[in-house]
Amino acid sequence: MKKFMQYTSKLSHVATGLSRSMRLLLVASLPLICSQAFGQQSYVGRYDVYAGFMYLNSPHISLGEPGFHLQVGFRPTTWYSLGFDYSVGTGDTALTPALLTTALQTQLGGELGQLVQGGKIPATYSLVVPISSVTQTFSAGPQLSYRHFKAVTLFIRPDLGAMREVATPHPTDAISTLVVSQLAPSGRKLDWVPFYGFGGGVDINIGKHYSLRIQADLVHDHLFDDLLKDSRNTVRFAIGPGAQWGKNVSK
């Protein structure tokens, strides 16, 4: 029950963050909505594809990763579609003892304490290890769309998938080099984890076949749980052109 309550609380935080992001997207689209007459969209293609810029943000570890985002979809109906989602981004952050598991903090504190006592490092020494990261996300599933407006299409979706991250530490002194050799003997760390959350956004319909897509996703994950004590929420903002083609499913 305790674990279930923890997951429920985390999911609540995810929904709250996504709600804020979606409100910003909707406010940004209001001028376009108001400039168009109400009415159903006359053409909804069977297939759609999107490719654009995205930004992954994991604030708990101060990691921001700009990169590329791709989506492909199939629409059985006007309001329901199935698709695949992929993104990849690169960025930099820094590893500090406060981010590590309690066991690793205790071990590291003892080792640094011995070095201080031996006069090898000053008592004011602070361990900070720069990290470069490459993160990929993979997901597939349904999306629900609202097409009451000709100018825009609103959509929401559950986010269930996998996240792959490669973290490469860049030690700056002898002590951090020693610590990295213990935590990542190969010189880098790779991890795969599942994630869950919600997403949504708006397609600004430029023409029959083309649109500008603005969207946001907020998911929960726990990469490198053998090193990092906390799970984290990751936000993805994305924007780019989309296209649709094929049989008109609105007929």
CATH number at residue 243: 2.40.160.20
Q: Give the pLDDT of residue 38.
A: 53
Tens-digit pLDDT profile for residues 142-160 = 999 999 999 999 999 999 9
Query: Which pLDDT does position 251 carry in this prediction?
Result: 72
Count of domains observed in the chain:
1
DSSP 239: E
In angstroms, the CA 107 to CA 126 distance is 15
pLDDT for 166 equals 98
Q: Kindly give the parts of the chain with pLDDT less than 70.
A: 1-39
User: Quick one: pLDDT at residue 27?
Assistant: 52
Q: Please name which of 38, 86, 28 lies closest in space to residue 212, comparing C-alpha atoms.
A: 28
246 closest CA partner among 44, 76, 83: 44
- Residue 12's pLDDT is what? 45
Q: Which domain holds residue 66?
A: 2-248
**pLDDT given at position 163:** 98
